[in-house]
Structure 1
Amino acid sequence: MTTPPQPPERYTQLKAVGLLIGGISSFQIGATLAKGLFPLFGPSGMVGLRVCLAALILLTIWRPLPGQLNKKTLMLLLPYGLSIAVMNFCFYIALVRLPLGIVVALEFTGPLTLALTGSRRVLDLCWASFVILGLYLLLRPESAAHGNLHSLDPVGIAAALLSGCGWIVYILTGTRIGRTLPAGLATTLGMSTAGIILLPCLIPTLPLIATHPWQGGAALSVAVLSSAVPYILDMMAMRRLKPRDLGILLSMEPMLGAISGLLFLGENLSSARWVGVLCIVTASAGNVLTSPRNTHH
């Protein structure tokens, strides 16, 4: 009897799922570590360290050659790198003011809105209503049970939503530049461009690194955990997973952000805000599962 080829394929898919979950988890752990360094470096200094160090790490792996760049690529590179800079800068500005789970959920509404834009299907209206409900539950002021009024910082909310807008630009420009350059090279150039843009954030941290080498090493760990490792694992996973499966797994990111904030930072959300995060996860997963665009490889 011949054995069917399913088990090796399933093993490959399970391995890819593990890689992707590992990448998402690594990013969240890096974010929790970065938040612990805010008292020394501040959010702007931390984002300068993370992006610039990540760019150096990627440049050691993928070394761009002058002949690989042309005028068309350079024209795409600036908005691509700028979107990376805006995403990371706004994410950290929000992270100093809001719990990690809420920041990730608010940021995630950017690509989710892009996915739902222009659709006229009834199902997509359903997913859009889940997004609206989730945002309402996340953003509404809450009177705490122990007499402590708890409302979210408006600057943090605006920064998280702006980070989501940066994510939209990142998707649109990254897709275009990915057609002209290999994925690794494109990301290296984009991260390097973002690093140049964020140099003013990096420079003030250099004396602090000299006097606090332990925290400097921790900042390097953030760059590895939040940029280098997730990107490498994501790229390995994307070679093995269909777009539909990839989208479903990425939908877990807001929930993993909330869990990471709870486990590593002690940031417990109210029941209503947990439901709000779950609504956004449901909208994202539902959109992927029911979208005809993702039914083909």
Structure 2
Amino acid sequence: MTTRTTPPDSPGSPGSPATAGLVLAGMCGLQAGAALTTGLYPAVGTAGVVTLRLCFAAAVLCALWRPGLRRDRVTGRRWDRGTLATVIATGTLLTVHHLTYYGAVVRIPLGAATTVEFLGPFALALAGSRRAPDLARALLALAGVVLLGAGGLALDPVGVALAAVAGACWAGYILLAGRLARRVAGGGGLALAVGWGALLSLPFGVASGGAALLRPGVLALGLAVAVLSSVLPYSLQFEAIRRLSPRVFGLLTSLEPAVGALIGLLFLGQRLAAAQWIGIAAVACASALAARSSGRPEPRAQATDRQLTPAAEAS
């Protein structure tokens, strides 16, 4: 079997600034799109927003990658049952995540919803830790999350519960998307997963938004949300997941509560207490340390890299 190695300082290196930048850019797009959806909720409801986002995202991704329904267009290999099951499971998790996360954002501030949602990736990062420094970084991130959630603001318990479910779905997505990225070359697997998620959300969206989904203004805003929140972030993060272990990716996404809080402040006027700004600094520090340490892949990650020949990616 051919061994493929990546120079330590190249963009494809697990510890390179470019890989960490993919994760950060994806998070900024996700949170900016979440803020933009506030103009859609009154017209089409939460489920309508999710349907618009996924349908537009699926159309753009399928146009870009043109995935085959029976075989991988890049390698020519036929889809096996395991790959199709991973596509369906990934798309299902995306749909449930979107429905619960946007349901949370309607009820609690964006920063708080994102903070609670982060507990899913955090649990994933903590579960995969084997060394004391990993645990210390995860605990630092947790301390930042706790401070971000402080400030005396009363939170709707339903919103908090929905954000927690979204976090669990996001943790599952990290695991499944990593598996899908290794099974399918390029972005065809992601396009199919988002397409399945769009079909799954359609009945809920039509029931929620009805004919309002076809208004020109709603469609234009829905397209903008889809590009910001789905097409760009998922494409960037999907490539990052291909290069990183789930543990490292989960730790890098610990910056997302800080990004959500800042977007909420800049675009929605949601101010933060002093303790919450300290929390932002703690989470950012944990993320920076994780990005720096990710240049030392774990034995399991190294073994995975050795298998990423074109034939192995399609298997």
Q: TM-score range by the shorter chain?
A: 0.7 to 0.9
The reply to whether residue 45 of structure 1 matches residue 55 of structure 2 is no
Q: TM-score, normalised by structure 1?
A: 0.79
CA distance 1:216–1:126, change in 2 (3 Å): same
Match 1:197 to one of 195, 200, 207: 200
What one-letter code is carried by the residue in structure 1 that aligns with 2:126? L
Partner SS for 1:269:
coil
Structure 2 counterpart of 1:3 = none
Structure 1 counterpart of 2:310 = none
What one-letter code is carried by the residue in structure 2 that aligns with 1:201? F
Tell me by how many angstroms 1:28 deviates: 2.2
Tell me by how many angstroms 1:75 deviates: 2.1
CA distance 1:173–1:232, change in 2 (3 Å): closer
Q: How does 1:54-69 map to 2 (within 5 A)?
A: 54-68=57-71, 69=79
Structure 2 counterpart of 1:136 = 146
Moved over 4 A (4+): 13-22, 233-239, 241-251, 294-297
* Percent of pairs with identical residues: 37
The reply to whether residue 70 of structure 1 matches residue 80 of structure 2 is yes
Report Cα offsets for 1:19-50 as digits up to 9, x if no partner.
Answer: 66544333222111112221222222211211
Contact 1:139/1:152 (8 A) holds in 2: no
Structure 2 counterpart of 1:272 = 275
The reply to whether residue 208 of structure 1 matches residue 218 of structure 2 is no
Tell me by how many angstroms 1:15 deviates: 7.2
Tell me by how many angstroms 1:262 deviates: 0.7
Q: How many residues align?
A: 281
RMSD between superposed Cα atoms in Å: 3.3
Report Cα offsets for 1:267-294 as digits up to 9, x if no partner.
Answer: 1122222333433333343344346536
CA distance 1:222–1:269, change in 2 (3 Å): same
Report Cα offsets for 1:150-170 as digits up to 9, x if no partner.
Answer: 311212222222111111111
Q: How does 1:179-190 map to 2 (within 5 A)?
A: 179-190=182-193
CA distance 1:17–1:184, change in 2 (3 Å): same
Tell me by how many angstroms 1:261 deviates: 1.0
What one-letter code is carried by the residue in structure 2 that aligns with 1:282? C
**Long gaps (5+) in structure 1:** 1-7, 143-149
The reply to whether residue 258 of structure 1 matches residue 268 of structure 2 is no
Q: How does 1:146-165 map to 2 (within 5 A)?
A: 150-165=153-168
The reply to whether residue 81 of structure 1 matches residue 91 of structure 2 is yes
Which is further off, 130-139 or 156-165? 130-139
Structure 2 counterpart of 1:229 = 232
CA distance 1:124–1:242, change in 2 (3 Å): closer
Which is further off, 16-25 or 175-184? 16-25
State how far apart, in whole Å, the 2-side matches of 1:66 and 1:30 are. Answer: 29
CA distance 1:15–1:177, change in 2 (3 Å): closer
State how far apart, in whole Å, the 2-side matches of 1:21 and 1:131 are. Answer: 16
State how far apart, in whole Å, the 2-side matches of 1:248 and 1:45 are. Answer: 32
**Long gaps (5+) in structure 2:** 1-8, 72-78, 306-315
Contact 2:37/2:225 (8 A) holds in 1: yes
State how far apart, in whole Å, the 2-side matches of 1:123 and 1:14 are. Answer: 20
State how far apart, in whole Å, the 2-side matches of 1:19 and 1:284 are. Answer: 13
CA distance 1:181–1:170, change in 2 (3 Å): same
State how far apart, in whole Å, the 2-side matches of 1:163 and 1:67 are. Answer: 31
Structure 2 counterpart of 1:145 = none
Structure 2 counterpart of 1:106 = 116
Partner SS for 2:108:
coil
CA distance 1:245–1:109, change in 2 (3 Å): closer
Tell me by how many angstroms 1:231 deviates: 3.2
Report Cα offsets for 1:176-202 as digits up to 9, x if no partner.
Answer: 222221240111111111112211222
